[in-house]
Every structure is written in structure tokens, then in C-alpha cells.
Amino acid sequence: MPTPGFPDGTLDSDEHPIWMSELDVIGHSAVHLVRDVRPRAALEILGLDADSAVPCTLPAQSPDEFTSLPRAALGDPDCVAVLLVGRIGGWTLVFDDAGATNEVGNLERARAVNAAAGGDWSGLEAMAGEPKPVVQDPSVALSAGGGPAVTIRTNFTGPPFSIEYAIDGEMVFGTDSHDLDLQDAQPRADVRAAIAAAGIAEQDDLEPGEMDTSGVARIGCALAGAIWTMDDLRATELLAVTFD
């Protein structure tokens, strides 16, 4: 079995964790997974207004190829990002449909970049002379507030997938789809187990034993035991919050 930790129904046709691809139709998001941190507390650590989170029921499917399921559930609001948060088996998931929380402490820049994409450069221009904010990797910040944390980034402008794994506020492992041979010669035992669980998907354009790009996302999910289906997500209490 090429992906031993992922049974039937947990991967899509590209061998990507199915719950991730169902949530993220665009392919540009951030997924944060943290143990022993409650959903609203995770939002607060990431810099969001947890009090504004509302119950969220995901629709059966996205209305188009540009709208994430959480965004569709809220009526496609005009905002920088929609974040979905829930808790499964002791792990809290935060799905950010625009990758606005790729750095903790830098949400103002995310707002300015989004405005610039719409033609308003005033925010970025105002920041040009300001000191750069102190930022943290989200997995580091989340793990400092609770148990182990994993961030999985999906990106259509850089490495398609990357992961960070942190414990007690310290980064202990990271890789991306430009490092599929995993240069770290002696990863931690839990990382080795996740790599084994992720396996290697058999694809026609790959050499025997060559890891596929979705393998990076599978490693991240395996580190958090996030071997989920959409039914698993729909069965838990979900909240959504907009970042404007």
C-alpha cells in the first residue's frame, strides 16, 4: 500500500488529503493543527477576533472554483480571508482560505497586500517607512500555547506545499515540495513515523520511490493524526470568522 497511513476515502485523486482539497478549491491556504488548544483560543493566538466567530455549516460543495467551502457557507463575504475552526480528537484545526495567517503578528500587512491587489497601494506605502513587526511562525506560536502544532501551507506562487512542526514554542521540523528527498538525515522518531505513514503515491510521471508533491501535506496531516474525511469535519462543531 503506497500510503499506509491513509485508508480509502481519505485522499483525493491526486493523493492529497481529501478534507484539505475539499476545503481549499483554489490551492492557496494555510492549515494550522494544534493539540490541547481550544478553537477560540487558537484564533486569538493567530491574532483573530475570536468573539466574532459564528457557527458554520459547510455546504455540500463550492458554488465555483474560486470560493472555499467556509467562504460559501458565510455567503461569500468581501474580506481578506475566512477562517474555519473546529476540534477533532484533541486537535484543533484552523483553516485559513487565503493564507493570511502565514505569519503571526503580521495581519496588518496581509490587509495591505490584499488592498494592493485591488489597486489600493496606500497601506503598503504607509508601511514602507515603518519598522518591520516582530512575527512568529504560526506553528511556533500555537505550540507555545498548547501541545504540538503543525502548519501546512498550500501555495500556487511558490512551493506547492510546505509544513512546519513545532513543540513547546520551538520549530523541530520543516520541509516543502522543493525538498522531496527530505535532506534532514536523522529526523525525530515522530517525524520518521509520519513520513512512513505518508508513503509514496504511485504516479506515472515519477520514478520508483520518488515522493509526490502531495506527500508533504500527507506528512503534515500524519504528524497531527489528521487522517480525516469531510464527514469527520461535518460531524464536529465548526465556527467561522472573517478577517477584513
Interval 9-39: pLDDT, tens: 999 988 999 999 999 888 889 999 999 999 9
Supply the pLDDT for residue 129. Answer: 66
Share of the chain above pLDDT 90, in %: 59
List the grid coordinates of 170: 520551538
Q: Predicted confidence band at 1 (pLDDT cuts at 50, 70, 90)? A: very low
Q: What is the pTM of this model?
A: 0.89
- The amino acid present at 67, given as its one-letter code, is T
pLDDT at 206 over 70: no
Q: Predicted confidence band at 106 (pLDDT cuts at 50, 70, 90)? A: confident
C-alpha 76/C-alpha 220 separation (Å) is 28
List the grid coordinates of 234: 461535518
29: left (phi over 0), alpha (psi -120 to 50) or beta: beta
Residue 209 CB contacts under 8 Å (≥ 6 apart), including other chains: 200
Provide the β-strand partners of residue 161.
154
